[in-house]
């Protein structure tokens, strides 16, 4: 798609010589809001969107910075003109301090080389095997919850983090990561804490300066690297003949020129999928249990479907297609709490988005969280209503929990399968509710949107599941 054309008059302002081409807050207003921007940028983005509209320019001269919630503009950046928008932004540079130039952060040419190499691990035929690993994780969580006793308050956030880490370890790397689950989950969150802090300020000390944050990041990366190195040494010692999981693929794959991945490239891909592959799904599942506790009608409707389809046995890959209500619930969770609540791009050429001129070099901020709550697209956008996904009328270009276009998350089908089967496997055996009048907590926008103090819920075993 070619760059677009301007429609309508543009504001006559400038920021230190950078013309204002869209409405937005003045410099003093933004300075007053700096505390909110640092502490809860999503709340601030929502506020300026409500005040100024679908394209907002911030009073930042270098680079010119825009929030785009205009649906056609979002589609243009991620799909129609995707090749004119790169990932060389402060947010992805901060994330690369943990993942290196892995698939998530790689820009243009590096991404084009990596994507075909990783894709086979997520082909349809791999999903049935992944489902078996999900079922094992469900059984392990079931044992933990039964040992805790029916009616106990359990932080399901911790349970989902460990469960998702277990699935990633077995499904992608053939390794039991539950042995180090606490350490790896802690390392992941510690590393992401530093990433978030860096992404929210324009200038940070170089990573070699021994600040508390840099020392924290170095420790976290050391723990992640130790886990990766142990997996690599163990797998290389096995000397397998044919690939059976992502780690085998990473070790054996070659590009069109016959060149394989370096050890650093393998490390970057493994850390990318350990970090992104478990934290994102775990976060979505945490919100799913919270929303089901807050909406018992939907919890009962989901359980009725599970009782009919799964009927007390282990979940399988075939169940996924036969659980439309559970799938709709997970989709609605992803709409309200998308794993990627913020996506950034750098404009490589002059363009027009939502009728506003966008200069080359501009930073474009997209927010699936805001797009998913756009009142022009969604009825009662802030309500939890999975029925909207059962009617078959969803505008799929406005539902982008895993991104959109050529940079669509390679693990989307994996994540959807894991989310739905986890809900089906555990939801058939347990029911959840908030304790003592507690309510669904507000979200804290980190790399994903997380509950600031976990998700403590009363977990009760369902009578129909006793004796399984």
d(C-alpha 71, C-alpha 374), whole Å: 9
Q: Which helix or strand (DSSP H or E) is residue 147 part of?
A: helix 124-148
Q: What's the pLDDT at 334?
A: 98
Tell me how far apart the alpha carbons of residues 10 and 12 are, in angstroms, rounded to a whole number.
6
Least trusted range by pLDDT, from 82-91, 175-184, 277-286, 450-459: 175-184
As a whole number, the mean pLDDT across the chain is 89
pTM of the model: 0.91
Residue 176's CB is within 10 A of a number of other CB atoms, namely: 11
- The total of other beta-carbon atoms located within 10 Å of residue 217's CB is 22
* Residue recorded with tokens 């050529």: 406
Helix (H, G, I), strand (E, B) or coil at 335: helix
Model confidence pLDDT, tens digit, residues 380-393: 999 999 999 998 77
Indicate the length of the chain as a whole number: 468
- Helix ranges, 177-310 (H): 181-199, 212-238, 246-252, 263-294, 296-309
Nearest Cα neighbor of 1 from 67, 53, 73, 68 is 73
Highest mean pLDDT among 130-139, 264-273, 458-467: 130-139
pLDDT (tens digit per residue) in 146-179 = 999 999 999 999 999 999 999 999 988 888 887 7
Select 13-465's CATH number: 1.10.630.10, 3.40.47.10, 1.10.3720.10, 1.10.10.10: 1.10.630.10
Q: Where do the structural domains in the chain lie, given as residue ranges?
A: 13-465
Overall average pLDDT of the 17-30 stretch: 85
H or E element, residue 65: strand 65-68
Contact at 8 Å (CB) between 76 and 4? yes
Q: Pick the more confident residue, 84 or 1.
A: 84
């Amino acid at each position: 798609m070619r760059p677009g054309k301007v429609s309508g008059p543009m504001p006559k302002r400038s920021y230190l010589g950078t013309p204002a081409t869209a409405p937005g807050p003045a410099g003093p207003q933004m300075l007053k809001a700096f505390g909110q921007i640092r502490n809860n940028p999503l709340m601030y983005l929502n506020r300026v969107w409500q005040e100024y509209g679908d394209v907002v320019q911030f009073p930042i001269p270098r680079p010119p910075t825009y929030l785009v919630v205009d649906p056609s503009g979002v589609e243009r950046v991620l799909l129609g003109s995707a090749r004119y928008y790169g990932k060389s932004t402060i947010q992805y540079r901060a994330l690369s301090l943990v993942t290196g130039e892995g698939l998530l952060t790689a820009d243009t040419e590096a991404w084009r080389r990596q994507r075909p190499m990783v894709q086979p691990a997520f082909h349809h035929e791999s999903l049935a095997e992944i489902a078996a690993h999900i079922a094992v994780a469900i059984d392990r969580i079931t044992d933990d919850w039964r040992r805790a006793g029916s009616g106990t308050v359990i932080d399901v956030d911790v349970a989902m983090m460990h469960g998702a880490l277990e699935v990633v370890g077995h499904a992608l790397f053939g390794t039991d990561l539950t042995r180090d689950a606490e350490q790896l989950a802690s390392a992941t969150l510690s590393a992401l804490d530093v990433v978030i802090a860096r992404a929210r300020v324009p200038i940070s000390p170089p990573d070699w300066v021994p600040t508390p944050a840099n020392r924290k990041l170095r420790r976290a990366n050391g723990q992640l690297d130790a886990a990766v190195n142990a997996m690599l040494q163990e797998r290389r010692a096995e000397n397998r003949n044919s690939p059976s999981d992502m780690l085998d693929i990473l070790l054996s794959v070659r590009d069109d020129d016959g060149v394989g991945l370096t050890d650093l490239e393998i490390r970057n891909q493994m850390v990318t999928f350990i970090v992104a592959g478990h934290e994102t799904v775990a976060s979505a599942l945490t919100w799913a249990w919270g929303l089901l506790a807050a909406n018992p009608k939907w919890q009962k409707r989901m359980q009725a479907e599970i009782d009919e389809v799964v009927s007390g046995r282990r979940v399988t890959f075939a169940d996924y297609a036969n659980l439309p209500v559970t799938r709709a619930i997970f989709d609605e969770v992803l709409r309200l709490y998308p794993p990627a609540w913020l996506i950034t791009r750098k404009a490589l050429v002059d363009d027009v988005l939502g009728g506003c001129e966008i200069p080359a070099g501009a930073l474009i901020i997209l927010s699936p969280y805001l797009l998913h709550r756009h009142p022009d697209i969604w009825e009662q956008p802030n309500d939890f209503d999975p029925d909207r996904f059962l009617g078959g009328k969803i505008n799929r270009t406005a539902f982008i929990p895993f991104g959109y276009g050529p940079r669509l998350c390679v693990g989307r089908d994996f994540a959807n399968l894991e989310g739905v089967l986890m809900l089906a496997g555990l939801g058939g055996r347990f029911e959840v509710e908030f304790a003592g009048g507690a309510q669904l907590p507000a979200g804290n926008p980190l790399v994903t949107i997380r509950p600031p103090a976990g998700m403590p819920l009363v977990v009760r075993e369902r009578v129909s599941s006793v004796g399984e």
